[in-house]
Structure 1
Amino acid sequence: MSSRMRPQTGLGPSGVTAVLGPTNTGKTFYALERMAAHPTGMIGLPLRLLAREVYEKMVDRRGERAVAMITGEEKIVPPNPSYWVCTVEAMPLERRVSFLAIDEVQLAADADRGRIFTDRILHARGQHETLLLGSDTMGPILSRLVPGIEYLGRERFSQLTHTGHKKVTRLPRRTAIVAFSADAVYSIAELIRRQRGGAAVVMGALSPRTRNAQAALYNDGEVDYLVATDAIGMGLNMDIDHVAFAQGRKFDGRNARNLQPAEVGQIAGRAGRHVRDGTWGSTAECPPFDEELIHQVTEHTFQPVTALQWRNPNVRFGSLPALLKSLEQAPTEEGLVRARTDDDEDALRRLARRHDIREMARGGAALKLLWEVCQVPDFRKVTPDQHAIILGELYEQLIERGSIRREWAELQLSRLDNPNGDIDAISNRIAHVRTWTYLSHRSGWLDDAGYFQGEARRIEDKLSDILHERLTQRFVDRRTSVLLKRLKDDAPLLAGVRNNGEVVVEGEFVGRLLGFQFILDPKARGPHEKRVRFAALKALGPELMARASALAEAKPDELKLADSGEITWRGSPIAKLRRGPQPLRPDFELVAMEHMPASAVGAVQDRLRQFIADRVEGLAGPLVALQRALNRPSDDPEGLSANARGVAFRLVENFGAMSRRPIADEVKALTQDERAGLRKLGVRFGEYTLHLPALLKPAPAKFLGLLWSLSSEAAPGRYALPPAGATSVEADETVPHAFWYAVGYRPSGKRAVRIDMLERLAQEIRKARDEGGRQGFETNQRMMSLVGVSGEAFEDILKNLGYKKQTVEREVKVAAPVVADPVAETVEDPAATAARQLPADEPVAEGQAPDAATQVGTAPPTAEAEQAVSEPASEEKEAEAPTSDPAAETSQAEPTETHQAASQDVPVTETPPAEAPLAEGETVTETVTLWRYQPPRGPRRDQKDGRRGGKPGQRGEKRDGPRSQGPKGKGGKRPPKDQKPRTFSSGPRKRKEADPDSPFAVLANLKKD
């Protein structure tokens, strides 16, 4: 029956008036006006969310003390209220009111909730006025069921037009997209966030507080799109211009079915606000609607409702079978149909199968209580069996003790007070809390019900706020939404940069400015990324110019040089070193400077050149001085001679340290004056190397390693630098020898030894050789402490230096009685002894960790060793230096353990067991390990010199190493000039008999024959 054909006749004889019409006709507003005109009133609404909205409007009209609100999970009841705002299920019908209204009465035909609305239509009445609000499709059925009812037709304020199918990305602003599953809602909302900046989400599964917050997000204009289920079709007043259906089918709790025309009209009718016209259509995967349905929705002409859902409200509690039978009773009045089995009836039948429940529910109050327990809503939407189990436990507690155990209730609520988890987890907890909210409002079910009502409300509000925050974070990009609006309006943008580099445009974070590079926030990426980036950079122009000026005037401590060759300013990379025309003149390239103003590039480049020059001068000063001396002409008093120039050039080329072997002839040709000139420039002539001691400190060594990497075109940081203060480290065979020399270390077998410590070790060996004579020398604790290793690792270093180990026996006199005590003869770890002998106040080298001195292989040299290295060697000591290096620059082996047991490096003395103490003056024989220099037999072709890149050495090159103390190629001392050299003669050699069975002997016998 069309409302257009019904005259507005006012109240009928029965006092019941049906106010019918399509959406956007002001029916609810009219009901509130009528209720306010009565001294008392009550209105039943289909949704808890709508009830809250109407309650707030009535509070504005009559005040908080005059208005009560009752829903299944919430009660606000002041003393003696005059007006009651309720959900349809929670209406307190025992209260007598002058006015009563029921909204959305067409839901009486709904399979799930229809029986409740039907009962209210038939039995709920106001003393003076009753209004039934809903669709005009209810006209005929209400005429049959409510005798004497009158009708008040309402016309739609605006027109509703169909616009067809559109892509989601082309939907207009102020659009509500409707889907019928949580997965579909979430996926569409995510797409809208990426394409249009964000969307609000409204679903029936959300708590009212969350739905209110999401609806406010849309109504306040923070987002232009709303993704919702059919919950928006039930009276929610929202500023919607267009409704787009993303799905044409829905699951009604039993089956998936197509949408009915009336349902489409109810939802589509939300488009348009008061007198503003609205549009509707389809989108996403929803197929286009047929012409007949479009006509019905546009013209609001739907098939009238022919039957309402009904269930017997007068149930009998004589026995459990009687209760079940009364629920199965069929309606006798035309226009009513038996409602399908609802959740409460299904729970009752499941519990009735349990023997213990049947025993407890033997009629009367116990059976009535069981029916009330079964009516607890399944907010959690679990399986029917799980829901029945919870209801059975509640019923047992209520029967046994009269109320729910407080401890159990507190435990259940405490488990739900958890803010962690994703959207689904938070939503599930809210559903559980709603169950406890419902239970707390049941009279007498919980001791101290007020406490549990407050606690459940607190947890639900807390979780609802968190859920709103999660939804907003996931589906709303406030930044993109705001920027798109401002760009569309072509308005000037308000931008700024915070102290931490965050770029804020129109109050929204859009990225970060690191130095001169603008890094867009990853969350802003998408179709509008270019527009957001353009807007940010446009607003950042003044800030970038100011930064360029500040960089051009930057103080030295504001610029930093990293080990990777990267130059940073205020913690942000601005340039990177690269190979230059000379080793000490590295070049650079600007990085992350694409946004720097072009007018400021020249000044920035000049500042960076000055910074690099200062770093080279400060960290490699001795090498720079040597380079300058090379550039002076030979006749300059501070210049170098030709011989000295060659040595200096090689040192500069090799970054201040190199093996002595490749230039042994050049060094030998230097005069004392030439040597003195080089020493004045900081050059140290060692037994194995030529180096500049000032460059061995950690900071210069690290910088020279970087320069070597740039010069050799190796990636900076490819080869690990030795720890600061380490006297020796394991030498990886893949590392070029030139790198070790550049950082102040000499490869020596399987380890690389710091050059100053190696030269100090050479001095210690020379002293020991002078004391040991021709037989060789014994190693001692001091030698091992200089290089920080012992055992096999120390022996490997000696072997690389050209020394050979041998075991000899010698006789010694006993100076005092000695008693052999095997237990007391213990061997101490040389490394531990060395650590104990180091001075406690030894200064820590620059960049060294505080505990580096206690690490094996990294113990700093003693003060005496440092002092000895800092002093140039005398000509007498140089004269004693070896003319060849026995085993320098050999290929590296696999690294070994740094520290071995002390028993492997301490000379072992074997004393024969004695029954009695030895007397003073007696002689004993001891076995000792001595080291003796082994002269090389010839040049090795696999040697590597100290030049850049580690190229193989040339044939015939002499080696560094201890000089032999006799004639070249011979052992022993040189004979005095007045003494003839000793001669040796030998007798005739004994001829070795040939093997008669040898084939050569047989051949010789044949020749004789």
Structure 2
Amino acid sequence: MCGHSSGTIGFPLRLLAREVYDKVCRIKGEDACALITGEERIEPPNARYFLCTAEAMPRNGGNRAFVALDEAQIGADRERGHIFTDRLLNARGREETMLLGSSTLEPMVRKLVPEAQIEERPRFSTLTHAGSAKLSRLPPRSAIVAFSIEQVYQVAELLRRFRGGAAVVMGALSPQTRNRQVELFQSGEVDYIVATDAIGMGLNLDVHHVAFAALSKFDGLRQRRLVPAEMAQIAGRAGRHQTDGSFGTLSGSRRGAPLELSEDEIHAIENHQFAPVTHLFWREPNPRFDTLDVLIGDLESRPMEEGLALAPEAIDLAVLKRLAEQPDIAADVKTAGNVRRFWEACQLPDFRQQGADAHARFVARLWSDLRHDYIGADYVAARISELDNPSGDIDTLQGRLSAIRSWAYICQRPDWVLARDEMAARARSAEAKLSDALHQKLTERFVNRRTSVLMKGMGKDAGLLRVELKDDGQVTVEDQPIGHLDGFRFVVDADASSEERKLMLAAAEKHMASLLAQKAQKLVADELGELRIENGCILRGDQPVAQLEKGKSPSRPRLLMAKELGQLDPAHRTRLEDALQLWLEEQLAPLAPLRALEDAATDPEAGTEVRALLLTLADRNGTTRREDAGLAHVPKEKRPFLRRLGVTIGSLDVFVPALLKPAPRQLLKRLGIDNRPVRDAMEAVHDGENQLAAGYRRAGKQAIRIDMAEKLFRAAHESRAKAPQSKDARGFRVDSALATSMGLLPESFRSLMRDAGFRPGQPVELAEGALGPPQPVAWTWRAPRKDFAPRKTDRGPRKPRKDFKGKDFKGKDFKGKGGRNANPSEPVPARREPKGDGGQAFAGLADLLKKG
């Protein structure tokens, strides 16, 4: 539409018209756009693009360049079908007309509009039947569809108890309330939405699964089973664009037989194959207004064109016929003008859904004022004021909303109400207030925010929940109270149900450490003030509060209260000691990687070799030289286990990078566990000192942090791996830019690299007269050492070695059976050949080379 100079679109719902109106306003500006529905009218003087409901849409399209009718298959609907059929037959744009709808309408379009071009837009995602499931087994982001208000409320109440709640969408809700409920679901505050078949049209939701709580509904005449096209309209809410969806039924119903979709219905929904529409409902769109009898006769006249069927008696025609039978009304409605005006009054929608008789009485009261020209503004204002009351339960608010929608419709008529604009604004304001109140009531009844928050907390993101401890000891999760701390014991909220108690206890257990730490901090701050750890003591200022003695492991010191605190009464002293212990646990948090090493070292499943390495690492506070680590004993299949613990096996060192940060190094120093100097910032490189700081290794006259040194070694090894491996290759290039960026001097860099087995070649000078940068220095590498392990043998004491001629090296005869080659299968240890025999020495050297 926006590609044309003007246009009109007719929608089946006021909600859809408003949604598209907002989009077009962002593209064309508000001055160019109009919104016209039965209850709302925004029409700037220079409007060129009109977004309307089908009933408010001009019959001929308004003589605009573009005209579209959405959901044109509603022409087969018993109540509103004749409106859509009339627009399908008569609404045309000067340049382009689009009829949007289901493919089931195609035969009727070809018959009634033979010049139309048919274009298909296939669904990108697939719908899959998922079978039947209990309410408690439905996956998140599910929609449950029912066909009565009682069943909607029942399902929503069950979801509130077991899943934290659900949003509710029904046709009886106002568009504002429906939007707010949809937003509740879309925002993720609840994972379920319970709806009537109103969900099947005009709502774009992030639904992954649709579950039918019923497969039949009352259509105004009888209770009948849904046809496959209706099922597909609802099931199609699952999945969006290229995201696949699923559908099924709800099991566990206490009434009637279990719900089951037939194989034909499943096949039709999954493959989008439905019976075509065979007729559209029609009613005379231009009746004569000579008399009431002539008007009724025209409205009941049958269509002459094939494919069209007379529309069943709608609510407006039923009201017209009932009121025409009343003598006092029939006597007043004589002229053509009065007949037309009376018919317009009868077309007032039955928002209250009270039936033809009750609605006829309301229209009769309305006509008593309209026949005398206008409805008084005071009367309308009084009626709106009566309804503008946001108190009451859900049913009361729904009744008021339906009534206020009727007055909103009345106030939109151009010739019905005096001070029309003011009264329309009052009606919209009252509708908005009632909609907000109804949304609040629905949320309070069907959404348990506390349970919803706790249910989400049981998932993988539980650590991201905002858990707070209030000053009064109350514990909240995302501002929802779940209990309180009684001393250092968590007590569940007394108002919680049995299901909620389990969730609350689980949530509290996950966050209990932080909650107790907060409580302890507050208690310690109130009782003792600011504390710090220094030289293995907990100090308040310069006064010791407690000593930290060696515990079962270095990272778990034992707390020994100062003698001065022994004068406290036992109960208060115990309470303070518990608080101090919790305070200490939080202070020791930076040593978590060291604790992980200690715990793994006591795990028998780690194996003796790995446990020995972990004990060495823990004893040396997370760093050890490679030659002291005993890596030759550690099986290769155990190395992933070490990596999961955060252990890095480097070229020269085995270390835990997490323990090279300032916080753990300084804490180890203050605890008295590591007395080596500690750099405050643990910078990558610093000038050398007499005593090497913890976590560093020498690099010439400087010192470099162990993990930074390993970074340089790995970069050099990567360069070596990429270098050509041919015989003519003369080493590889090592880029010193990374070392320079760390602050390492060239001499220090070369010294550090030599420790790892790297040797720089001689610089190549440029030829005389040549210009440009010098040729890069070629480096070579040779392993500085190996991780030797003692040779395992069970052959007993070593015997004298023999030469190839059956004699030992002392010239004595060998009493064996043929010398060295007598038993080729016997393993022979590597040996140093005698210097006197060059051939044997060369053979021994070749043997060594083969072994690397």
Superposition TM-score, scaled by structure 2 size? 0.60
Kindly indicate whether residue 313 of structure 2 is the aligned counterpart of residue 347 of structure 1.
no
Alpha-carbon shift at residue 224 of structure 1 (Å): 1.3
Partner residue of 1:181? 148
Partner residue of 1:481? 452
Alpha-carbon distance in structure 1 between the residues aligned to 2:526 and 2:236: 66
Alpha-carbon distance in structure 2 between the residues aligned to 1:368 and 1:70: 21
Partner residue of 1:316? 288
Asked whether the 8 Å contact 2:160–2:166 carries over to 1, the reply is: yes
Asked whether the 8 Å contact 1:114–1:308 carries over to 2, the reply is: yes
Alpha-carbon shift at residue 609 of structure 1 (Å): 13
Partner residue of 2:171 out of 197, 204, 216: 204
Partner residue of 2:184? 217
Asked whether the 8 Å contact 2:169–2:178 carries over to 1, the reply is: yes
The CA deviation string for residues 97-147 of structure 1, in whole angstroms up to 9 with x for no partner, is 110111111111111111111111111111111111111111111111112
Asked whether the 8 Å contact 1:480–1:524 carries over to 2, the reply is: no
Matched residue SS, 2:339: helix
Partner residue of 2:138? 171
Kindly indicate whether residue 416 of structure 2 is the aligned counterpart of residue 445 of structure 1.
yes
Cα 1:315–1:465 shift into 2, 3 Å: same
Partner residue of 2:269? 297
Partner residue of 1:108 out of 75, 92, 97: 75
Alpha-carbon distance in structure 2 between the residues aligned to 1:546 and 1:154: 59
Kindly indicate whether residue 207 of structure 2 is the aligned counterpart of residue 250 of structure 1.
no
For residues 525-536 of structure 1, what are the structure 2 equivalents within 5 Å? 525=497, 527=499, 529-536=501-508
Cα 1:155–1:449 shift into 2, 3 Å: same
Matched residue SS, 1:85: strand
Partner residue of 2:207 out of 237, 240, 246: 240
Asked whether the 8 Å contact 2:387–2:404 carries over to 1, the reply is: yes
Partner residue of 1:55 out of 18, 21, 37: 21
Kindly indicate whether residue 606 of structure 2 is the aligned counterpart of residue 606 of structure 1.
no
Alpha-carbon distance in structure 1 between the residues aligned to 2:142 and 2:115: 42
Partner residue of 1:431? 402
Alpha-carbon shift at residue 307 of structure 1 (Å): 0.7
Matched residue SS, 1:112: coil
For residues 600-639 of structure 1, what are the structure 2 equivalents within 5 Å? 606-607=571-572
For residues 392-471 of structure 1, what are the structure 2 equivalents within 5 Å? 392-400=364-372, 402-471=373-442
Partner residue of 1:520? 492
The CA deviation string for residues 582-608 of structure 1, in whole angstroms up to 9 with x for no partner, is xxxxxxxxxxxxxxxxx99x9886359
Alpha-carbon distance in structure 2 between the residues aligned to 1:350 and 1:608: 88
Alpha-carbon distance in structure 1 between the residues aligned to 2:144 and 2:435: 23
Alpha-carbon shift at residue 449 of structure 1 (Å): 0.5
Partner residue of 2:30? 64
Cα 1:511–1:148 shift into 2, 3 Å: same
Kindly indicate whether residue 240 of structure 2 is the aligned counterpart of residue 273 of structure 1.
yes
Partner residue of 1:262 out of 218, 224, 229: 229
Task: Name the Cα RMSD after superposition.
Answer: 2.7
Alpha-carbon distance in structure 1 between the residues aligned to 2:453 and 2:405: 36
Asked whether the 8 Å contact 2:59–2:86 carries over to 1, the reply is: no
Alpha-carbon distance in structure 1 between the residues aligned to 2:494 and 2:260: 36
Alpha-carbon distance in structure 2 between the residues aligned to 1:151 and 1:552: 78
Asked whether the 8 Å contact 2:167–2:190 carries over to 1, the reply is: yes
Point out where structure 1 has 5 or more consecutive residues left out of the alignment.
1-34, 556-598, 611-1009
Matched residue SS, 2:118: strand
The CA deviation string for residues 422-444 of structure 1, in whole angstroms up to 9 with x for no partner, is 11111111110000000000012
Cα 1:518–1:451 shift into 2, 3 Å: farther
Alpha-carbon shift at residue 526 of structure 1 (Å): 5.0
Alpha-carbon shift at residue 549 of structure 1 (Å): 9.4
Matched residue SS, 1:509: strand
Alpha-carbon shift at residue 257 of structure 1 (Å): 0.9
The CA deviation string for residues 714-769 of structure 1, in whole angstroms up to 9 with x for no partner, is xxxxxxxxxxxxxxxxxxxxxxxxxxxxxxxxxxxxxxxxxxxxxxxxxxxxxxxx
For residues 607-756 of structure 1, what are the structure 2 equivalents within 5 Å? 607=572
Alpha-carbon distance in structure 2 between the residues aligned to 1:387 and 1:203: 21
Cα 1:358–1:541 shift into 2, 3 Å: same
Cα 1:540–1:384 shift into 2, 3 Å: same
Asked whether the 8 Å contact 1:198–1:475 carries over to 2, the reply is: yes
Asked whether the 8 Å contact 1:176–1:244 carries over to 2, the reply is: yes
Alpha-carbon shift at residue 255 of structure 1 (Å): 1.6
Asked whether the 8 Å contact 1:320–1:363 carries over to 2, the reply is: no
Partner residue of 1:655? none
Alpha-carbon distance in structure 2 between the residues aligned to 1:339 and 1:176: 33
Asked whether the 8 Å contact 2:59–2:90 carries over to 1, the reply is: no
Cα 1:490–1:117 shift into 2, 3 Å: closer
Alpha-carbon shift at residue 537 of structure 1 (Å): 4.7
Asked whether the 8 Å contact 2:15–2:202 carries over to 1, the reply is: no
Partner residue of 2:91 out of 106, 109, 124: 124
Alpha-carbon shift at residue 497 of structure 1 (Å): 2.0
For residues 27-176 of structure 1, what are the structure 2 equivalents within 5 Å? 35-93=1-59, 95-176=62-143
Alpha-carbon distance in structure 1 between the residues aligned to 2:348 and 2:235: 33
Alpha-carbon distance in structure 2 between the residues aligned to 1:67 and 1:166: 47
- Look up the equivalent residue of 1:323 and give its one-letter code: L
- Look up the equivalent residue of 2:158 and give its one-letter code: L
Partner residue of 1:362? 334
Alpha-carbon distance in structure 2 between the residues aligned to 1:112 and 1:439: 21
Kindly indicate whether residue 352 of structure 2 is the aligned counterpart of residue 375 of structure 1.
no
Alpha-carbon distance in structure 1 between the residues aligned to 2:183 and 2:495: 24
Alpha-carbon distance in structure 1 between the residues aligned to 2:21 and 2:365: 35
Partner residue of 2:511 out of 518, 523, 539: 539
Alpha-carbon shift at residue 485 of structure 1 (Å): 2.3
Kindly indicate whether residue 482 of structure 2 is the aligned counterpart of residue 510 of structure 1.
yes
Alpha-carbon distance in structure 2 between the residues aligned to 1:469 and 1:377: 27
Cα 1:511–1:84 shift into 2, 3 Å: farther
The CA deviation string for residues 628-684 of structure 1, in whole angstroms up to 9 with x for no partner, is xxxxxxxxxxxxxxxxxxxxxxxxxxxxxxxxxxxxxxxxxxxxxxxxxxxxxxxxx
Matched residue SS, 1:134: coil
Asked whether the 8 Å contact 2:456–2:462 carries over to 1, the reply is: no
Alpha-carbon distance in structure 1 between the residues aligned to 2:351 and 2:304: 33
Matched residue SS, 1:457: helix
Alpha-carbon distance in structure 2 between the residues aligned to 1:417 and 1:158: 45
Asked whether the 8 Å contact 1:483–1:506 carries over to 2, the reply is: no
Asked whether the 8 Å contact 2:453–2:477 carries over to 1, the reply is: no
Cα 1:45–1:443 shift into 2, 3 Å: same
Cα 1:248–1:305 shift into 2, 3 Å: same
The CA deviation string for residues 203-242 of structure 1, in whole angstroms up to 9 with x for no partner, is 1111111111111111122211111111121132111111
Alpha-carbon shift at residue 518 of structure 1 (Å): 4.3
Asked whether the 8 Å contact 2:75–2:81 carries over to 1, the reply is: yes
- Look up the equivalent residue of 2:181 and give its one-letter code: Q
Matched residue SS, 1:189: helix
Partner residue of 1:636? none
- Look up the equivalent residue of 1:413 and give its one-letter code: I
Point out where structure 2 has 5 or more consecutive residues left out of the alignment.
528-560, 576-852
Cα 1:272–1:403 shift into 2, 3 Å: same
- Look up the equivalent residue of 1:210 and give its one-letter code: T
Alpha-carbon shift at residue 384 of structure 1 (Å): 2.3
Alpha-carbon distance in structure 1 between the residues aligned to 2:410 and 2:438: 23
